[in-house]
Amino acid sequence: MTEVRVPTLGESVTEATVATWFKKPGDAVAVDEMLCELETDKVTVEVPAPAAGVLGEIVAAEGDTVGVDALLAMITAGEGAAPAPAAAPAAAAPAAGGGDAVDVMVPTLGESVTEATVSTWFKAVGDTVAQDEMLCELETDKVSVEVPAPAAGVLSEILAPEGTTVDASAKLAVIGGASASAAAAPAAAPAAAAAPAGSADVENAPSANKLMAEKGIDAASVTGTGRDGRIMKEDVLKAALAPAAAAPAPAAAPRAPVAADDAAREERVKMTKMRQTIARRLKDSQNTAAMLTTYNEVDMTEVMALRSQYKDQFEKKHGVRLGFMSFFTKACVHALKEVPEVNAEIDGTDIVYKNYVHMGVAAGTPQGLVVPVIRDADAMSFADIEKAISEKGKRARDGKLSMAEMQGGTFTISNGGVYGSLMSSPILNPPQSGILGMHKIQDRPMAINGQVVIRPMMYLALSYDHRIVDGKGAVTFLVRVKEALEDPRRLLMDL
């Protein structure tokens, strides 16, 4: 007997509602076949079968509310090998045509990610591929995912060309022997034709039906985003708000006509999924938070002197260069202890204070802005922070970051100084309540003890959510960061 339990639902999510069961007791299931769909107040989560077998008892019925790791059902072993051929008749056809055929499927995309766009194929039809060799790259609204070959053979058919949007369970291509190419194409047609038939009668989530009845909303007016187009609770909530949201829509006026001479010199490029998400999240941040920015400046003399004195010994011992980011991370951790609301977030009518610091470090990549998270930065040494930043930065530039590495941040540092920015107002990374903007270090004349002295100065900017952080707290935070950087010994003494 194998237990089917509620998976991790995400940060701060403790319970979910069983929306739909795709299988019933007595049905044969294959490994990783979807058994049911859970609905939380934030995301919809599909629960795959942890093992092959027969679905026994269903412990949590549709509509039940369950906690994390709660028992959902039981799978009995012994008959699970049978459903595999029945579940995938399309795969059997190419095999009969000559050589074993292997389907290339969309890999796991991460929690709450339901679709991706095929950005690049590294192989063409007819190319020989080795097992685990990269076939293509998928782009979601959060990360890029490389798809390796599940087996060695010949790429006989590409079902999802570049630019195609595919869902989380889609077939991308077929790998077979040299003779499998001709047989694979006919098999794809019945598989595709069968898809619409399965969506003819879709049962909506119980919570969605209840909410539609309470609000008097017709199901025909709601667009379902669940599996096979079923209506989920969040779909009903969006539909309920639609009349209010419809008013601003006309503001999105069509682009003004362009002169023919200018149009011939323009190039129209479709925004990537990541760029669309960046644009949407930044605008949502502006629309949601009561964002305000306060500024200060810091004399970098002491930090630069300390770094210059110890950088060679530091690199020799730890194998990583001593940069400025570890000083700023340490200074921010120091200040967050005194002003905890900058490290908190708003959840409905509650304020959630974080007794830890997961530091987001904004990084520019060819694909767009990403914010990998350095977890438990408050417990790290200078060397640990530098190593983590170096490793995350390289993975970000290579497009290798997983979604988990970009979730859960409590505060963010953005360094526009590497691009020459002298001053800016960073935008919050929701649901965080604070972000520190670093800038270019520039020699400027400063009045020190009645004397004009040239000092390396940097402007600091703290953008914060005024709903949770008062002006006093924001200014205090920035002053504490300034003090720690101008006298790094304060970090050692915890002053």
Which tokens belong to 256? Answer: 């003004």
**Catalytic residue at 439?**
no
Q: Which residue has the tokens 């001479």?
A: 261
Contacting residues for 271 by C-beta, under 8 A, at least 6 apart: 279
Rounded to whole angstroms, the Cα distance separating 366 from 446 reads 38
Rounded to whole angstroms, the Cα distance separating 342 from 218 reads 43
Q: Which residue has the tokens 């991370």?
A: 329
Catalytic residue from among 262, 470, 487, 494? 470
How many CA atoms, within 13 angstroms, populate the side-chain half-sphere of residue 185? Answer: 4
The tens place of each residue's pLDDT in the chain, 495 residues long, gives: 888 988 877 666 678 888 888 888 888 888 888 888 888 766 677 888 888 888 888 998 888 888 888 889 988 875 444 444 444 444 434 434 445 788 888 887 765 677 888 888 888 888 888 888 888 888 876 667 788 888 888 888 898 888 888 888 888 898 886 444 433 434 443 444 334 433 445 667 666 777 787 777 888 788 877 666 777 777 787 777 765 444 454 455 677 787 888 888 888 888 776 677 778 877 887 788 889 999 999 999 999 999 999 989 999 999 999 989 999 999 999 999 999 999 999 988 889 999 999 999 988 877 777 889 999 999 999 999 999 999 988 888 887 777 788 888 999 999 988 888 889 999 888 889 999 999 999 999 999 999 999 999 999 999 999 999 999 999 999 999 999 999 998 887 776
Rounded to whole angstroms, the Cα distance separating 246 from 236 reads 15
Question: Residue 179: left if φ>0, alpha if ψ -120 to 50, beta else—which one?
Answer: alpha
Contacting residues for 175 by C-beta, under 8 A, at least 6 apart: 101, 102, 103, 104, 129, 149, 150, 151, 152, 153, 154, 155, 156
Question: Residue 144: left if φ>0, alpha if ψ -120 to 50, beta else—which one?
Answer: beta
Catalytic residue from among 69, 127, 347, 466? 466
Q: Is 201 exposed, middle or buried (0-12, 13-18, 19+ CB in 10 A)?
A: exposed
**Catalytic residue at 470?**
yes
- Of 73, 69, 24, 21, which Cα lies nearest the Cα of 51? 73
Rounded to two decimals, what is the model's pTM? 0.52
Q: Are 464 and 433 in contact (CB under 8 A)?
A: yes
Which tokens belong to 169? Answer: 């369970």
* Phi, psi angles (nearest 5°) of residue 5: -120, 165
